[in-house]
Amino acid sequence: MTILQTRPLFLIVVATLVTTCVFSTEAWADTEEAYKSRAKRLYDFARWGGKTKSEYTRLVSIPKDVQINAIPDTVSVEVVSDQELANGYLLDRWYRLSLRDKTGRNVLVKLRLVEGKSIMHAHDAMISFLSVVAAKKLRSGTSVGLSVGDVCFVGWGKPIISLTFCRNNIFVRIRSMETNVSVVDMGKFVDKAILKASFRKKSATTSKRGDANNQLSDLDRLRHMEAKRVLALKKALQFEKLPKTGRIRAASGFSPGVFKALGDFEVKHRGISPSFAHGMAKQLMLVGPKDTPQIGVTIFVGMSARNAQEMLVRQMTITSMPIEMMTAVHVTKGRPGDFHIVQKTGKERTARSIVRFVRDNIALTVEARTGDYDVFPIARKLDIQIQKMKVLSKGQYDRALPKAEIVSVEPPAPVEGEWVTIRYQTASELPQGIDIAVIPEPPGLALRLAKETKDAVTFVTKMAGRTYVGLVVYDKDTLLSRWTTFDLSIR
């Protein structure tokens, strides 16, 4: 069977009208998130988001693992666009293919592949696409008896001329430019190639010959992409000139009563997460009366003012905005914080719906998740609260957290797919409220947690290359932390 299935007569190609909407920097995130939230409800994202049909042993890389030229009946392949996306995405590549159908005619097909740094990022790319693709909800692949990808949606009508699916960490969009040409066989071929690459084992040894690009591991390539965005934002912020102090504060003053005094808010804790080698973060959601939007508050506590600033920059790069729009920001020195950054939304661009600031070693992001709500007064009050918090001397900081160290790593240089056990010890018993964790960087990519005991953690290695591992001791109340880091080479 050929990749393309046609009817006896071809119809006239219908031109597709594409309307490009240019958003301002302030409105981009607000509009995009609103559309995505609607699409998640419409397509039941909670049911399939982050889930797969199989447990893959590695992530897939494009174009290395997916040879587009190998698609049957291919006459020509043209790369129309290559774009490096946000932190969660490595590459967004668009192809224009000319395929020969069984009648001998050449048919134009468009193919888009988005490589995510995780399965969830690929699913996020799909939901972003679905949020703007059509007014009418697309059909699921299973509803028409099509088993392609981990999750799949198809266009209406027969034959199926558009196919959207995710397999592993790759988002795929295929569309025929002929209204009577099916893309089902082509979709199955691409899906099979991704599936095969998802289980392929890499060689335990790496050739010392070849160009520099081929020598880069997937992990190195990811870090390069992330570093490019971070450096661009630092340049826009004039990072080296940002004011910083030597003061260290313990973030112990954010009690529920503090937030209730801001506007009768109910505080919902969303958890604590690490910022590798910089500090710890706590996510809160403030839920007010019906006429008040939900407000997200993220509290970063770094080991220094510079750490807090690094954490703020890295949070700002986690966005789907292109670099040019991401870097269109303005820094204002002074309250709230030692400096602050405001993003405005609304028709008149007056609603200060996102405020980020750094005060000493604490960075805060206050964001209205729905509606054009001015959170600047809340940010000012939280800054006042920070200034009331205790300033610690170096001796007090050292005594606040017990010391910990790595005892052994076995095996010291694991092969991809092998288990690696990291053992650690602390100088004393951990007091109540103090916790310890072993954190890989980037999380979930090179190492997947297999099991953990009181003084050891075992991971399954998933991706060859150099990764980083951190041992962190932290206070769950004050968010003070102490980090020990090391490199781990996976062959």
d(CA 317, CA 310): 11
Task: Report yes or no on 213 lying in a domain.
Answer: no
Q: Does 474 reside within a domain?
A: yes
Token pair, residue 304, equals: 């220094």
pLDDT of residue 256: 65
111-134: burial string, b at 16+ Cβ within 10 Å, e else: bbbbbbbbbebbbbbbbbbbbebe
Domain boundary among 163, 197, 231: 197
CATH at residue 460: 2.60.40.60
Q: Are residues 376 and 294 in the same domain?
A: yes
Closest CA to 362 of 377, 342, 340, 345: 340
Same domain, 334 and 407: no
Task: Please say which residue of 394, 419, 434 terminates a domain.
Answer: 394
Residue 382 shares a structural domain with residue 480: no
CATH number for position 388:
3.40.1000.20
Do 328 and 470 belong to one domain? no
Tell whether the torsion through CA atoms of 153, 156, 159 and 162 is positive or negative.
negative
Per-residue pLDDT, 480: 92
Within the chain, which residues score under 70 in pLDDT?
1-33, 82-90, 134-135, 200-225, 253, 256-257, 260, 291, 319-323, 345-350, 370-371, 444
Q: How far is CA 102 from the centre of its chain?
A: 42
Give the burial string for 20-56 (b: 16+ CB within 10 Å, else e).
eeeeebbbbbbebeeebeebbeebebeebbeebeeeb
263 within some domain: yes
b/e 344-363 (16+ beta carbons within 10 angstroms → b): bbbeeeebbbbbbbbbbbbb
Q: Is residue 15 part of a domain?
A: no
Residue 136 shares a structural domain with residue 284: no
Same domain, 154 and 290: no
Structure tokens at 430: 């951990």
Does 10 fall in a domain? no
Buried b (16+ CB within 10 A) or exposed e, 416-447: bbeebbbebebeeeeeeebebbbbbbbeebbb
The answer to whether residue 218 sits within a structural domain is no
Do both 329 and 443 map to the same domain? no
**Is the N-terminal amide bond of 63 cis, ω within 30° of 0?**
yes
Cα atoms in the 13 Å half-sphere on the side-chain side of 15: 3
d(CA 140, CA 132): 17
Percent of residues in the chain assigned helix, strand, coil, to nearest 5: 25, 35, 40
Give the domain range for residue 386: 223-394
Q: Quick one: which H or E segment has residue 215?
A: helix 212-215
Report the predicted TM-score, pTM, of the whole model to 2 decimal places: 0.57
Token representation of residue 107: 């048919």
Q: Are both 82 and 147 inside the same structural domain?
A: yes
Q: Verify that 288 and 162 share a domain, yes or no.
A: no
Is the same domain home to 379 and 466?
no
Q: Give yes or no for a contact between 281 and 262, defined as CB atoms under 8 angstroms apart.
A: no
Kindly tell me the burial class for residue 210, based on how many C-beta atoms sit within 10 Å of its own C-beta (0-12, 13-18, 19 or more): exposed
- In 10 A of CB 464, how many CB atoms? 23
Looking at the structure, do residues 431 and 312 belong to the same domain, yes or no? no
Are residues 373 and 295 part of one domain? yes
Compute φ and ψ for 133, nearest 5 degrees: -75, -40
Number of domains in the chain: 3
Question: Has residue 2 been placed in a domain?
Answer: no
CB 441 within 8 A of CB 470: yes
Query: At which residue do the structure tokens 């890499």 appear?
Result: 202
- How far apart are alpha carbons 474 and 480 in whole angstroms? 6
pLDDT on residue 26 = 38
* Cβ atoms 476, 433 nearer than 8 A: yes
Residue that finishes a domain, picked among 367, 394, 421: 394
- Under a CB-based contact definition with an 8 Å cutoff, are residues 174 and 160 in contact? no
How far apart (Å, rounded) are the C-alpha atoms in residues 299 and 290? 25
pLDDT at 222: 61
**Best CA proximity match to 151, nearest among 133, 132, 134, 170:** 170
Q: How far is residue 231's CA from residue 233's CA, in Å, rounded to a whole number?
A: 5
